[in-house]
Amino acid sequence: MNNSSGVKEEQMLLASVEDKFRRASENYMMTSTGFLNMHQRTLVTELWKKIGRGQGEIRLEFVGGYEDAERTVACFVPDYEENPEAPICVIRVNPPSGGRALTHRDYLGSLTGLGLKRDVIGDILVDEDSADIVVLNEISDFIIMNYSKAGRTSFHVELKDIEEIKIPELRTKEIKDTVASLRVDSVVSSAFGMSRSNAAEAVRKGLVYVNSMQILKTDMQVNEDDRIVLRGKGKACLKEVGSQTRKGRIFILIERYI
């Protein structure tokens, strides 16, 4: 995708979001977008700071099925809706045992092969014996009726409420280090085993996200329990910020997902 087409897509997204907000405000009803990646979520959050200011009757919520979802739906919710029903559900895929293990790419490729656009598909959580695919409610019936194969592997699918989502057990490793400061480039450097200059470059390129928000400034401070994503490298969490060494460096404990 070239830069001009990317800018145009972002403009179209934000125009659509403004329309969703206007409809929610004028009709006092919940509206929602399709699934957003983390960069798009950041754009929507920044837009909300402008158009949502002073609009106490409508609030913005992001839902993706679970706390650490990378792809989320933006919901504009009237204040009378305390616990609104999320516009998403889960398609559980049960492949036959003993066959080739299907990957995230297999599932996504077979879904888009059905003609589905990426914005109707959320996170795809692959476990040892099944996969949970988060989708918009509006296309769940179509998937149930038409989705039965990925490559040469046939399988059974079933519809589940979003509350029934299965989160695969994540493996982690602890990284103990010291940093000169809690700047995001310093913490990314420690978390992902890269030089400070490469970490800073990743931030400037828009590859780093903290708590699902895209970070572009290398001097942003990271706090304890913040979750960090480096696109193409993985996820980490700053679990502890400790005392300082005699030379003024800060002890940190990072939990890296592997």
What is the structure's pLDDT at 53? 67
Which of these, 7, 78, 67, 47, lies nearest to 227 by C-alpha position? 67
pLDDT < 50 positions in the chain:
none
Which of these, 112, 238, 230, lies nearest to 175 by C-alpha position? 238
What's the pTM? 0.89
Exposure string of 168-193, with b = 16+ CB inside 10 Å and e = fewer, is eeeeeeebebebeebbbbbbbbbbbe
What is the structure's pLDDT at 38? 96
Which of these, 156, 91, 162, 87, lies nearest to 126 by C-alpha position? 91
What is the structure's pLDDT at 111? 97
What is the structure's pLDDT at 207? 97
What is the structure's pLDDT at 54? 60
What is the structure's pLDDT at 92? 98
- DSSP for 2-50? -HHHHHHHHHHHHHHHHHHHHHHHHHT--EEEEEE-HHHHHHHHHHHHH
